[in-house]
Amino acid sequence: MKKSKFLALVLVVAIMLMGAGYAFWMEDLKIYATVNTGELAFTFANAEFKNGGDYVIHGGPVANDYVSGEVSIAEDGALNIILNNLHPGSYALVKFDMKNIGTIPLKLTDFVFEGENANLDQIVVVADGEPLSLEEYFKTLEGISIDVDGSKTIELLLAVKKCATEENFEEKESFDFTVKGNVRQYNDDGSCEVTPDPEPEDPVKTGLKFVKTYECKGKDQGHNGKQWVEVKGRVYYTFSEGEDEFIENIDTGKIYKGKSWSKNYDGYKLEITYNNNGAISW
C-alpha cells in the first residue's frame, strides 16, 4: 500500500473514532428536595365552669347556687375566667385542657396573669388540700411536657381567703382575669438564650464647675473706700461620665475684699471669694 493511501486510511479511522467518542449520550442528574419546618403551637381548650359555693377549711367545697362563672378561650389562645358573686370563704371550680396543637413536642415554661391584682392576691388554689397562690400553683406546672396532639387536663379550685376584707378584696358582682401560658420546644434547655447587654447607667453628678467670663475690680469713694470685685460667669454641673450640664449665668455684684458670694445648686455650693491678697478664688 502506498504511503499516501495509508495516511488517508489512518485519518479516516481517526475521524471515525472522534465521532464515536462524541456520540456517547450525556444526561444531568437533578435532585429536588422539600423541607417542611415544624410548628410550635399551644392553646387552652375545653374550658368550663364546673360549680361554686363555700369552701370549708379541712372540710372541702360545699356547692351552692350563689357563685357562678364562665370560662372561655380568647382568639390568641388565652384562658379567660369570669367569676360572679365571689366573696370571702367562697370557691369556684373550673376545668380546662392545655393542648399541643403544633407539630413538635413542647414543654410549659411559665404563666402570666392579667386582671384585678388586688383581688388576685386574695385568691388561692387548693391543691391536695393545701392553699397555694396562683403563682405558686402554676409554677408546679412548669416543665410539664406535652406530645404532639396531646393535652393535659386541669381542674382548678379557686378559693377566696376567708379573712379577705373590703380593703384588699373589692366588692364586685363580676370578677375576671386572664391566664396566658408560655411554652418552648421540648429540647430547649435555655442554652441558646442571648443575655442582653446591661442598660448603661445614668451618669453620676459629681459637683459644680464655674467658668469666669468677666471680672471688674474697683474701690468705693473716699479715703478709706473699700476695695471690691464683680465677677460674672457660667455655672455647670459636672458628671462622672459625659459632658457638663449648663445651669445658668451668674453675676455676683460687688464682693468686698475678704468676703465671699455663694449660691447652692441641688446640694452643691458655689462660693466665690475676694481674698485679702487681692486674688479671686472659687
How does pLDDT run along the chain (282 residues), one tens digit per residue? 555 665 666 565 565 555 555 556 677 777 777 777 788 888 888 989 998 888 775 567 888 888 888 889 888 888 888 888 888 888 888 999 989 988 999 888 888 878 766 778 888 888 887 888 888 888 888 888 999 999 999 888 888 888 888 888 888 767 788 888 888 888 887 777 777 788 878 888 899 999 999 888 888 887 678 889 999 999 999 998 878 999 999 999 999 999 999 999 988 999 999 998 888 998
Cα separations (Å) of 159 from 93, 112, 170, 193, 241? 9, 19, 15, 37, 54
Provide the strand spans (E) within 161-223.
174-185, 205-219
Cα separations (Å) of 126 from 56, 91, 113, 178? 11, 9, 18, 19
Q: Which helix (H) or strand (E) holds 18?
A: helix 3-22
90 contacts 172 by C-beta, under 8 angstroms: no
Q: Give dist(CA 234, CA 249) in Å, integer.
A: 4
Q: Give dist(CA 119, CA 33) in Å, integer.
A: 56
CA proximity to 95, closest of 159, 153, 160, 150: 153
CA proximity to 156, closest of 101, 79, 43, 88: 79
